[in-house]
Amino acid sequence: MMKSLQIEEYGKIDEVTQLVETDLPEPESNQVVVQLLASPIHPSNVMLIKGEYVQVKFPHKLGTEGLGKVTKVGTDVDNLSVGDVVLLPGGKPAWQTEMLANANQLHALPVKDKDMMLQLAMTSINPPTAYLMLHNFVDLEEGDWVIQNAANSAVGRYLIQFAHNMGVKTINVVRRAELKEELKAIGADAVVVDGDNLAQQVKEIVGDGKVRLGIDAVAGEASSRLLSCLSKGATMVVYGSMSLQPIKIQLGPLLANEAVITSFWLSKWYRETDPSEIMPLLQKISKMILEGKLSTKISKTFSLDQYKEALNYADSEAKGGKVLFTNFD
């Protein structure tokens, strides 16, 4: 029997989420059985359960990415063996103890260390989001500045590391001053506390430099403050609304800066991008993780049976890092 987490309605996360048991079919000749090893709990997962994200059909199985171990292979599978560690296939619910997957969608990863497995379990969502926002909107040059809010988030931390490797400088907006040294240790060039004087702080940092790209995960009034920091002709990319507020923009800075405001949603990118482009990016990211060039902070892990505690903890302000479900032997 396999266990999986699902919802049949929206509501309070520890009340509407259910752990159900079902039979797992035998794999077809081109399929494998993959056992869950680790899967992160993202803010979007929690928002979906509450009904604050995309609308889904019920019952809806939960989880969006993770890492697994092959436990059974179909008769025609020759690229994988029992015991291989793989990224869970995209588009399948991740919060289940086992799943069937087509073998041609998977490739084995050379990893045995559990700490590294936790990092690899977060390959498919936050790192591509950070990477694509840095590369798909502005042709950044070495020495350019990028500003982002929610810099202590997982996406924010990945963005710092990618930008550092590109030679692009980052201004990282946070809510707490004590995060400064922690973010600088992973490559942040400047860390500032959000507030009404944000534009002045940024001006003092960049001088005559150009802030050509802004990354907004907060929305609300934070969008207007971020816009005021951008150079003429810059682009601001909105990818989240942590404030749960509409984007608020002052018309003056928008017109004066000749700014472009756009959005990014990774789910749309996955739907519209050819698989031949997706796999190389995920392989590049997993290689950087394996080489120790890319990581994020992990707070705590839980088993699927501890889902109520896990979801409430992931939804709390106290977590201070990523929360994951794990299913190690």
Residue 149, CA atoms < 13 Å, CB-side half-sphere = 29
Answer yes or no: are the C-beta atoms of 227 and 201 closer than 8 Å.
no
The gap between the terminal CA atoms of the chain, to the nearest Å, is 16
Contacts of 61 (CB under 8 A, 6+ apart): 4, 5, 6, 93, 95, 96
User: What is the Cα 151 distance to its own chain's centre?
Assistant: 13
Which of the residues 53, 270, 307, 313 is marked catalytic? Answer: 53
288, 289, 294, 299 alpha-carbon torsion, rounded to 10°: 170
Residue 6: beta bridge partners? 18, 61
List, in sequence order, every residue forming a beta bridge with 72; answer none if it has no partner: 33
Catalytic residue flag (residue 53):
yes
Q: How far apart are CA 223 and CA 216, in angstroms?
A: 6
Helix, strand, coil % over all residues of the chain, rounded to 5: 35, 25, 40
Active site positions, annotated: 53
